[in-house]
Structure 1
């Protein structure tokens, strides 16, 4: 079974870029703007969430806090991705495990995901 990531992003171009990068690394990436997040988490075995801070309808950090307060999702690693200058502070305050600052290098995403994806979920 391939490793699954949920990427909460409402910019289709950015979602495509990150999805393509991670597919080369043997990850399946499910993208969503955040509105179907809970259904996708329920229907899929998601090992990690990448989340943009500046969504068109809400803040990713607010969704991150919701996930952290929900017993069923509290332990899923979350990596915030944003061009917001204070993303380091935002990620820390919302309970994210890490952050990636836009613009990023391809290996920034690969390294962060590989560092935080649960090791026991890796396919053998």
Structure 2
């Protein structure tokens, strides 16, 4: 099963994400804080992670950096999403694989998830 973990403290965003992604065949697990993100990721083994910037308690940048330092988790694509104007720089600082500005276009969300979940060609 395709699985996405969403870390966001905004329940309306979580509701929209769950509705849209489950309709596309994804299993969606949502969390309103990131204190135990590494544990949750290891427990659920997602194909993609979505991380909000202003997620309690440590914030998205710290959470992504922590996840990307874990050898067994660093391969999982992380989409950083926020309403901040400098989202591109924040996503780069965090080490995210992609970013999505809030409010986001649903087609862009689906396109980004499809791209990140597609198998990558091996070698060149």
Q: What is residue 58 of structure 1 aligned with on the other side?
A: 58
Query: Residue 66 of structure 1: SS of its match in structure 2?
Result: helix
How high is the TM-score relative to the length of structure 2?
0.89
Contact 1:4 1:27 in 2 (8 A): yes
CA distance, structure 1, for counterparts of residue 7 and residue 60 of structure 2: 8
Q: What is residue 37 of structure 1 aligned with on the other side?
A: 37
List gaps (5 residues or longer) in structure 2.
Answer: none
Q: What is residue 105 of structure 1 aligned with on the other side?
A: 105
Query: Residue 57 of structure 2: SS of its match in structure 1?
Result: coil
Query: Residue 119 of structure 1: SS of its match in structure 2?
Result: coil
How high is the TM-score relative to the length of structure 1?
0.89
**What do you get for the CA RMSD once the two structures are aligned?**
1.4
Q: Do structure 1's residue 78 and structure 2's residue 78 form an aligned pair?
A: yes
CA distance, structure 2, for counterparts of residue 119 and residue 20 of structure 1: 24
